[in-house]
Amino acid sequence: MKVAVIQFPGSNCDQDAVWALRLVGLQAELVWHTEKSLEGFQAVLLPGGFSYGDYLRAGALAKFSPVMEEVRRLAERGYPVVGICNGFQVLTEAGLLPGALLANTNLHFTCKDVFLRVERTDLPFTNGYQPGQVLKIPIAHGEGRYYADAQTLERLEQNRQVVFRYVPSPSSPAEEGGGFNPNGSLNDIAGIVNERGNVLGMMPHPERAVEDALGSTDGRPFFSSLKRALGVVA
Amino acid sequence: MKYHVTLLIELKDGILDPQGRAVESILQGLQFKAQNVRVGRVLEMEVEAGSEAEASAVAHNIGKALANPVMEVFVVEAVKELV
Amino acid sequence: MKYHVTLLIELKDGILDPQGRAVESILQGLQFKAQNVRVGRVLEMEVEAGSEAEASAVAHNIGKALANPVMEVFVVEAVKELV
Amino acid sequence: MEGTLPPLLQETGIPLHEYQEIVRLLGREPGRLELYLFKVMWSEHCSYKNSRPLLKLLPKEGPAVLQGPGENAGVVEIGEGWAVAFKIESHNHPSAVEPVQGAATGVGGIIRDIVAMGARPIALLNSLRFGKLEGPEGDRTRYLVRGVVEGIAHYGNAIGIPTVGGEVYFHPDYQENPLVNAMCLGLLRVEELKKSRASLGRPVYYVGSKTGRDGIGGAAFASEELSEENESKRPSVQVGDPFMGKLTLEVTLEAIRRDLVEGVQDMGAAGLTSSLSELAHKSGLGIELNLDLVPKREAGMNPLELMLSESQERMVLVPRPGKEKELEALAAHYGLDAVPVAHTIAPPVFRVLHQGQVVAEVPTFALADCPTYTREGQEEPGLARLREADLSALPIPSDLQGILLRLLASPNLCSRAPIFERYDHQVGTNTVLVPGKGDAAILRIKGTRRGLAVKVDANPRYSKLSPRLGAMHALAEAARNVSVVGGKPLAYTDGLNCGNPETPQGYFELSETIAGLAEASAALGLPVVSGNVSLYNEGPNYRIPPTPMVGVVGLLEEVERRAELGLRKAGEFVVLIGSPEGHLGASEYLWVVHGQEAGSPPPLDLTMEAQAQAAIRNLIERGWVHTAHDVAEGGLAVALAEMCLPYGLGATLELRSHARPDALLYGEAPGRILFSVDQAHLQQAVKVLEAYGLPHSVLGQVGGDHLTLLLPKEQITWPVEALRRAWEQPLREVLP
Ligand SMILES: Nc1ncnc2c1ncn2[C@@H]1O[C@H](COP(=O)(O)OP(=O)(O)O)[C@@H](O)[C@H]1O
Ligand SMILES: [Mg+2]
């Protein structure tokens, strides 16, 4: 069972994603964006970074990469597809996930730990979490404000497509009142999934929270969930 | 023939534009009476086309390819033949 | 009276425009015959002024305040009275 | 040609005696283009003509040093076949002109120096100096801070190298002349070390961005004073393109990994001129460059523009015989230009062709052999008096408690989070001690148990009042910061930012700074492996304080054995290495509370300093100590407050001394380290300190949510929350 980690020109969390996938015992390989086939891969991960320098708009130019046709095909066939940070931006730009990611309301790149609540644990990406579990995971982005029009938002909520939501730090509820939402995302959305439940995008970086040395291991179940879903025996 | 094209890509009305707000507060701080500031992108480029109408159509297609319909609109602001 | 102002702020000629370069290569990959792509900012806003000429002058001063003279130029693209 | 000489000399600004030297080296009069090649290569920036004789004083050798100064970056071995390459570089003048792009291209430039050694960059740091935040000058300072921080973030974040540390100072003497120095650290396998070399007859490839009219004459410009008359000489602004930077980096490193290249050189200051002439010179060869082949962004560029352009994101690669096509294919894969614009030749000359004509031909040694200058220095009159000022009559303020809040809220001591939150400090997933958590950053090395600690430091107040002692403090403090997280300092890089060396004061400050560094290097056993000199940071009405930004790199054999600065466990004991009394001279307290910059920086006993650092490393290595912090600006009270902030945990501590209470709380002194240790290891830890012959005191215990200090005659208490509020806000207002 092999996960394809797509490398766009300007991706820079590609190696980190491979490291995290391998840490939980998954096979992972880098795939250059001009590849037209993902034959032999059972899942796809679009990593963080600045594809095409994030010029014009984060993720806007990567959607034209040849590999994206194939990513779309796998998504349609129900294979797990994950977009982290820039990968999430690419998935929305490519129309594989609804909505869009706009400039943070603070207008600058923000790198820090945030807290997320897991809203669903019946997905190939979250089966290792407890419902309502609060995770400490870092963000690092300048354009992470999730936006969708009112109907889309309502549909997302009704279908339980919001998977991760920003919440206040359990230790300092003082942030109540919105300070915990780092970018102004509507409904405090940090990550969503498509209707079918196989394409997930999230702004925080679970691959940066997979070892004690990195300050949190809360991202690790994200990858081990995927491993379980792909049926790899540990 | 070559045409110079100016394309504007802007946020849809109603979508929060923090950059516009930031510019607005700077301008108001400088005593300018500016309101409802919105910040978008302008693309200038040269395109090859057989006629102005064709150049317009090309510009239109480029706008479609580059703007994100979820939150943006685009306007072909100008198409001028280059000599 | 209120005027709607469109202001373009663009990089000076000769200054490297990495965004324009990246967009250009994507457009060419999509078979668009686009060249010399330059990406700038467009600002739309409303200003108070007694006349169109005055609104133009205000827009001009705003351009001066916002453009970075070391790298950018600005153009007052349009000034329209609002009803 | 002869007739045009006087105006040409005027135009290039080359002094007559240097011109005569050029004529002597050439055996003829140079042409205009040739003269410009000399102008940039003989600029201070490229030739170090005022600093080279002084830099010779610095110790450069050590058992671990694989590459000392002279290449694009220094390289130090760290075991298991790994080495680390690092260097610091200034981008002061470009950042003053255009802060965002100036800082961004500074970051891009230092990254390419590291890549040129064959190392994958793993960390960035920066050292920044700005003027005043208060008063009417504050607006410009805020504009610069915002721009510089944005530029660093823009480039570092996008290229995907974590910015893990740095330092920022505000001081009125930088009002007209901010400093922006960037440091980069890269990791390489020892066998992949690359140099700027080529063998005879090899094609020399130009890889990366196309050449435009960017920063024409930038290298020469950087060596001139910024003044109004200079306005017209300003080059067109260089724009950084981290996206191209990333592609260029990947192509270069992959070419090295696949062993396609024999030599690598970045194209930095003075572009083609410097990169190619140095490559040839270091190889003992000549080089022939065909300008018609250079990839160009703009039409109609003339030879002078092409030779002097400082367009960013360009590298020079020399393929191994037979690997040319593979190199071209590799670059094409990433969509980059890779063109053999030149080839090495036997006669040691730099020959430039344009449209079939030789437009310049000069001996490579002549370009490299700029005359050097040794001058007479003289200390700024009046400075000695200021330094010897008697501070014993200084009134002792009644509100000793409030002073801590003022110090924590002062621009030089308050929280840096508003800055470092804008930098991606984690990409690469190696940063195990992130900004704000420790005195130095720590990066683990995947696949090993090792880690690297790194920090850059310089105290302008100390250096202003005593350039020599200030430089010694800079090295001692940077090393101390590395030691208190558990790293054993290996070597350092130095960015020397000074005034005009052609004035007696400027030269004095430069030479004293280097002398101080040399003395501290020898005493601490730390060689310098790379560095940068930025002179002429001076104008008609100002001169910056000498600012030696010292970047120390240290090794942790076991990255798990490390310390951070926050107190984490109630009940632990807090121990101070060194004396509780500090000095008021040149202190932050003296400036913030008494509005004075006077007195001497504290004396520095380098033997004790080395012992203190060895002792804390020993305690961390044994696994007894997990929290340690050095006592720096603001003294003991500020250091203790900083230890309470990360986890909101207080402490009750007793300072036993009969010194004046302000010196006790806020005085400064080197060699002082605070750490916490649990009861089980307290006695053993104290024994270790005794074995090192170090003065020390057990101050008290961690606990509660207040910091309480018991002085001989009074007791002062602060809620940790109040300390935090004072400390967190000030820079948020600059960077909201
Ligand atoms: N202050 C210094 N201390 C030690 N080495 C220095 C210093 N300044 C410059 N060097 C060394 O001199 C060499 C030339 O520096 P520089 O011209 O800045 O290199 P580059 O052009 O690659 O940036 C480098 O090896 C550099 O590390
Ligand atoms: Mg170099």
Rounded Cα gap, residues D228 and D23, in angstroms: 32
Residue D484 near residue D563, CB atoms below 8 Å: yes
- Closest by CA position to D638, among listed D408, D311, D401: D408
Interface residues of chain B, partner chain A, Cβ below 8 Å: 11, 15-16, 18-19, 22, 41, 65-66, 68, 70-71
Kindly tell me if the per-residue pLDDT of A196 is higher than 70. yes
Rounded Cα gap, residues D504 and D289, in angstroms: 41
Q: Which of D348, D368, D388 is the last residue of a domain?
A: D368
**Mean pLDDT score of chain A, rounded to an integer?**
95
Rounded Cα gap, residues D28 and A98, in angstroms: 72
* Confidence band of D7 (pLDDT split at 50, 70, 90): confident
The domain containing residue A88 runs over which residues?
2-233
Distance of CA D192 from the midpoint of ligand 1 (Å): 21
A56 touches chain C (CB under 8 A): yes
Residue D195, CA atoms < 13 Å, CB-side half-sphere: 17
- How many C-beta neighbours within 10 Å does residue B23 have? 21
Which run of H or E residues covers position D218? Answer: helix D218-222
Residue D1 confidence (pLDDT): 43
Out of C14, C22, C71, the one facing D212 most closely (by C-beta) is C14
Sign of the CA dihedral running A110, A113, A116, A121: positive
pLDDT tens-digit map of D692-705: 999 999 999 999 99
Considering chain D, what percentage of its residues have pLDDT values greater than 70? 97
Nearest CA in chain D to A34: D333
Out of C12, C18, C70, the one facing D241 most closely (by C-beta) is C18
Distance of CA D30 from the midpoint of ligand 1 (Å): 28
Which residues in chain A (97-136) have CB-CB distances under 8 A to chain D?
106, 108-112
* Confidence band of C80 (pLDDT split at 50, 70, 90): very high
Is there a single domain that holds both residue D454 and residue D577?
yes
Q: Kindly report the length of chain D.
A: 736
CA distances from A217 to A69, A220, D597, D619, D673 (A): 34, 6, 48, 28, 32
* Confidence band of A231 (pLDDT split at 50, 70, 90): confident
* Confidence band of A175 (pLDDT split at 50, 70, 90): low
Q: Please, which chains are in contact with D (at least 3 CB pairs closer than 8 A)?
A: A, C
DSSP state letter for D647? T
Residue D376 lies in a domain: no
Alpha helices in D454-524 (DSSP H): 460-465, 467-484, 504-524
> Exposure string (b/e) for D93-123, b if CB count within 10 Å is 16 or more?
bbbbbbbbbbbbbbbbbbbbbbbbbbbbbbb
Question: End-to-end CA distance of chain D, in Å?
Answer: 58
Kindly tell me if the per-residue pLDDT of D183 is higher than 60. yes
Residues of chain D found within 8 Å of residue A105, distances taken between Cβ atoms: none
Which run of H or E residues covers position D16? Answer: helix D16-26
**Mean pLDDT score of chain D, rounded to an integer?**
94
The domain containing residue D681 runs over which residues?
401-494+510-529+562-733
Interface contact B66-A104, CB threshold 8 A? no
User: Residue type for D142, please?
Assistant: R
Kindly tell me if the per-residue pLDDT of D223 is higher than 50. no
Q: Which residues surround ligand 2, an ion (CB under 5 A)?
A: D 72, 113, 266, 268
Q: Minimum mean pLDDT among D69-73, D172-176, D212-216: which range?
A: D212-216
* Confidence band of A179 (pLDDT split at 50, 70, 90): confident
Token pair listed for D631: 């006592």
Interface contact C71-D239, CB threshold 8 A? yes
Kindly tell me if the per-residue pLDDT of D660 is higher than 60. yes
**DSSP strand pairing (A27-32 vs A81-84):** unpaired
D298 touches chain C (CB under 8 A): yes
Kindly tell me if the per-residue pLDDT of A173 is higher than 80. no
Is there a single domain that holds both residue D426 and residue D525?
yes
Which residue among D267, D530, D535, D549 has the greatest number of ligand 1 atoms within 8 angstroms of its CB, and so is best to mutate?
A: D530
Residue A110 near residue A140, CB atoms below 8 Å: yes
Q: Which ligand 1 atom sits nearest the alpha carbon of residue D266?
A: 22
Q: What angle do CA A101, A107, A112 make, to 5 degrees?
A: 80
Kindly tell me if the per-residue pLDDT of D216 is higher than 80. no
Kindly tell me if the per-residue pLDDT of D230 is higher than 60. no
Kindly tell me if the per-residue pLDDT of A67 is higher than 90. yes
Nearest CA in chain C to A64: C26
Distance of CA D701 from the midpoint of ligand 1 (Å): 47
Rounded Cα gap, residues A90 and A107, in angstroms: 20
Rounded Cα gap, residues A218 and D193, in angstroms: 38
Interface contact A56-B41, CB threshold 8 A? yes
Ligand 1 binding pocket (C-beta < 6 A) is D 46, 55, 69-72, 87, 89, 113, 268-269, 494, 496, 528, 530-533
* Residue D87 is assigned to a ligand binding site: yes
Interface residues of chain D, partner chain A, Cβ below 8 Å: 150, 153, 157-160, 241-243, 246-247, 333-335, 420-429, 431-432, 434, 444, 446, 559-560, 735-736
Reading across the β-sheet that carries D82-90, which strands appear in turn? D65-67, D74-79, D82-90, D179-189, D120-130, D163-170
Residue D262 lies in a domain: yes
* Confidence band of D160 (pLDDT split at 50, 70, 90): very high
Interface contact C23-A61, CB threshold 8 A? yes
How distant is the Cα of A61 from the closest Cα of chain C, in angstroms?
7
pLDDT tens-digit map of D472-521: 999 999 999 999 999 999 999 999 999 999 999 999 999 999 999 999 99
* Residue D312 is assigned to a ligand binding site: yes
Kindly tell me if the per-residue pLDDT of A177 is higher than 70. no
Question: End-to-end CA distance of chain C, in Å?
Answer: 9
Residue D269 confidence (pLDDT): 85
Interface contact A60-B70, CB threshold 8 A? no
Which residues in chain C (25-54) have CB-CB distances under 8 A to chain D?
25
Q: What angle do CA A54, D152, D546 make, to 5 degrees?
A: 170
Kindly tell me if the per-residue pLDDT of A189 is higher than 60. yes
Interface contact C25-D335, CB threshold 8 A? yes
- To 10 degrees, what angle do helices D32-41 and D5-12 make? 30
A93 touches chain B (CB under 8 A): yes
Mean of pLDDT values over D329-354: 97
Token pair listed for A90: 């690419």
Token pair listed for A166: 């920003």
* Confidence band of A178 (pLDDT split at 50, 70, 90): low
CA distances from D167 to A123, D84, D411, D460, D498 (A): 44, 22, 12, 12, 18
Residue D137: strand, helix, or coil: coil
* Residue D266 is assigned to a ligand binding site: yes
Q: Minimum mean pLDDT among D14-18, D103-107, D401-405, D531-535: which range?
A: D14-18
Residue D361: strand, helix, or coil: strand
Residue D221 confidence (pLDDT): 52
- Closest by CA position to D630, among listed D438, D461, D452: D438
Residues of chain A found within 8 Å of residue D427, distances taken between Cβ atoms: 12-13, 16, 48, 140
Our answer to whether residue A195 is catalytic in this structure is: no
Residues of chain C found within 8 Å of residue B73, distances taken between Cβ atoms: none
Kindly tell me if the per-residue pLDDT of D644 is higher than 60. yes
CA distances from A99 to A68, A121, D74, D581, D592 (A): 18, 22, 48, 61, 51
Closest ligand to the CA of D546: 1
Kindly tell me if the per-residue pLDDT of D115 is higher than 80. yes
Q: For residues D317, D322, D324 and D330, what is the CA-based torsion angle, rounded to 10 degrees?
A: -90
Q: Where are the domains of chain C?
A: 2-81
3-state secondary structure D158-212: HHCCCEEEEEEEECHHHCCCCEEEEEEEEEEEHHHCCCCCCCCCCEEEEEECCEC
Number of separate domains in chain A: 1
Kindly tell me if the per-residue pLDDT of D375 is higher than 70. yes
Class of B2-81 in CATH = alpha beta
Catalytic positions of D, please?
45, 91
* Confidence band of D225 (pLDDT split at 50, 70, 90): very low
CA distances from D90 to A136, B65, D166, D240 (A): 37, 41, 13, 15
Residue D231 confidence (pLDDT): 42
Interface contact B33-C45, CB threshold 8 A? no
Residue D561: strand, helix, or coil: coil
Interface contact B68-A184, CB threshold 8 A? no
* Confidence band of D228 (pLDDT split at 50, 70, 90): very low
Token pair listed for C8: 């373009």
Residue D227 confidence (pLDDT): 38
Residue D49 lies in a domain: yes
Residue D610: strand, helix, or coil: helix
Kindly tell me if the per-residue pLDDT of D219 is higher than 70. no
DSSP state letter for A100? E
Residue D152 lies in a domain: yes
Rounded Cα gap, residues B8 and B46, in angstroms: 15
A106 touches chain B (CB under 8 A): yes
CATH number at residue D574: 3.90.650.10
* Confidence band of C83 (pLDDT split at 50, 70, 90): confident
Residue D692 confidence (pLDDT): 98
Rounded Cα gap, residues D214 and A50, in angstroms: 24
Mean of pLDDT values over D88-114: 96
Q: Which ligand 1 atom sits nearest the alpha carbon of residue D532?
A: 8
How distant is the Cα of B12 from the closest Cα of chain C, in angstroms?
12
Question: C83: which residues sit within 8 A by CB, 6+ positions away?
Answer: none
Distance of CA C21 from the midpoint of ligand 2 (Å): 26
* Confidence band of D585 (pLDDT split at 50, 70, 90): very high
Is there a single domain that holds both residue D344 and residue D416?
no
* Residue D92 is assigned to a ligand binding site: yes
Number of separate domains in chain D: 2
Reading across the β-sheet that carries D547-556, which strands appear in turn? D431-433, D441-444, D451-457, D547-556, D488-497, D528-534
Our answer to whether residue A85 is catalytic in this structure is: yes
A13, A70, A85, A143: the catalytic one is: A85
Q: Minimum mean pLDDT among A9-13, C66-70, D338-342: which range?
A: C66-70
Interface contact A55-C29, CB threshold 8 A? no
Could you list the pLDDT tens digit for every one of the 83 residues in chain B? 999 999 999 999 999 999 999 999 999 999 999 999 999 999 999 999 999 999 999 999 999 999 999 999 999 999 999 98
Residue D196 confidence (pLDDT): 92
Residue D118 confidence (pLDDT): 97
Distance of CA D513 from the midpoint of ligand 1 (Å): 16
Residue A16: strand, helix, or coil: helix
Count how many pairs of residues, chain C against chain D, have C-beta atoms within 8 Å: 35
CATH number at residue A182: 3.40.50.880
User: Residue type for D459, please?
Assistant: N
Rounded Cα gap, residues D121 and D112, in angstroms: 9
Residue D534 lies in a domain: no
Nearest CA in chain D to A140: D424
Flag whether the ipTM exceeds 0.85. yes
Interface contact D214-C16, CB threshold 8 A? yes
Residues of chain C found within 8 Å of residue A67, distances taken between Cβ atoms: none
Is there a single domain that holds both residue D174 and residue D285?
yes
Kindly tell me if the per-residue pLDDT of D237 is higher than 90. no
Distance of CA D45 from the midpoint of ligand 1 (Å): 9
